[in-house]
Amino acid sequence: MVTAYVGLGSNQGDSPENIRQALRKLDCNPGVSVQEVAGLYKTAPVGYLEQDWFVNTVARIETSLSPDGLLKLLLTIEDELGRVRTIRWGPRTLDLDLLLYAGEVIDSPELTVPHPRMQERAFVMVPLAEIAPDLLIKGQRAEQIAKILKKNQEIVGTGQKVW
């Protein structure tokens, strides 16, 4: 088993419940064990702005799945929970991103790990820093990156936990 981090987000329907269901589906897979989940955060949309704010969190998992196998599982869960891809960065019932996988660097047409824009986004780094403040991202502690991003991007902790 290796450690991986998954970003979860939703801005359609009951977003906290969508995230809770995704975590259950992840944890029910024999190759995945959800270990820890940050609290929920509300964040302004990025890219396509004509949509509701998102609810986001990050989960630390242990997995025996390969990176490609885990990506396939994440995409399957998105589909099962009603994700429809119409507008890039547009509204969605669920968005699951493989952020980090066992410290590996992967650059394929299907998957880039570490996630290429994670250190630019408070909605990833703030919940990641909550559960792994000392994790190094491109030589910087997650907590340091999150602190900087919180000053420049709108993010609000809800105080709600889903796991």
Evaluate whether residue 145 is within a structural domain: yes
Q: What is the mean predicted confidence (pLDDT) over 52-56? A: 94
Residue 115's domain spans which residues? 2-157
What span, in angstroms and rounded, lies between the C-alpha atoms of 69 and 53? Answer: 30
Residue 88 has pLDDT above 70, yes or no: no
Specify the pLDDT at position 47. Answer: 75
Evaluate whether residue 162 is within a structural domain: no
Residue 84 has pLDDT above 80, yes or no: no
Evaluate whether residue 52 is within a structural domain: yes
83 counts as catalytic: yes
Specify the pLDDT at position 115. Answer: 93
Total residues belonging to the chain = 163
Specify the pLDDT at position 44. Answer: 87
pLDDT band at 89 (very low <50, low <70, confident <90, very high): low
97 counts as catalytic: yes
Evaluate whether residue 163 is within a structural domain: no
Q: What is the mean predicted confidence (pLDDT) over 83-92? A: 69
Q: Please identify which of the residues 20, 24, 27, 95 carries the catalytic annotation.
A: 95
Q: Strand 41-43 and strand 155-157: pairing?
A: antiparallel
Evaluate whether residue 132 is within a structural domain: yes
Residue 67 has pLDDT above 90, yes or no: yes
pTM assigned to the model: 0.94
What span, in angstroms and rounded, lies between the C-alpha atoms of 116 and 105? Answer: 11
Q: Please identify which of the residues 27, 88, 97, 107 carries the catalytic annotation.
A: 97
* Range in 31-40, 41-50, 104-113, 138-147 with the lowest mean pLDDT: 41-50
Evaluate whether residue 70 is within a structural domain: yes
CATH number of the domain within which 6 lies: 3.30.70.560
Residue 90 has pLDDT above 70, yes or no: no
Q: What is the mean predicted confidence (pLDDT) over 3-29? A: 97
Question: Cα–chain-centroid distance for residue 131?
Answer: 12
**What total of structural domains would you count in the chain?**
1
User: Which phi and psi angles does 106 have, rounded to 5°?
Assistant: -130, 130
Evaluate whether residue 59 is within a structural domain: yes
Q: Please identify which of the residues 14, 24, 79, 92 carries the catalytic annotation.
A: 92
Alpha helix (H) ranges present in the chain?
15-28, 67-80, 122-131, 142-152
Q: What is the mean predicted confidence (pLDDT) over 110-137? A: 96
Evaluate whether residue 88 is within a structural domain: yes
Q: Please identify which of the residues 60, 79, 83, 85 carries the catalytic annotation.
A: 83
Specify the pLDDT at position 48. Answer: 72
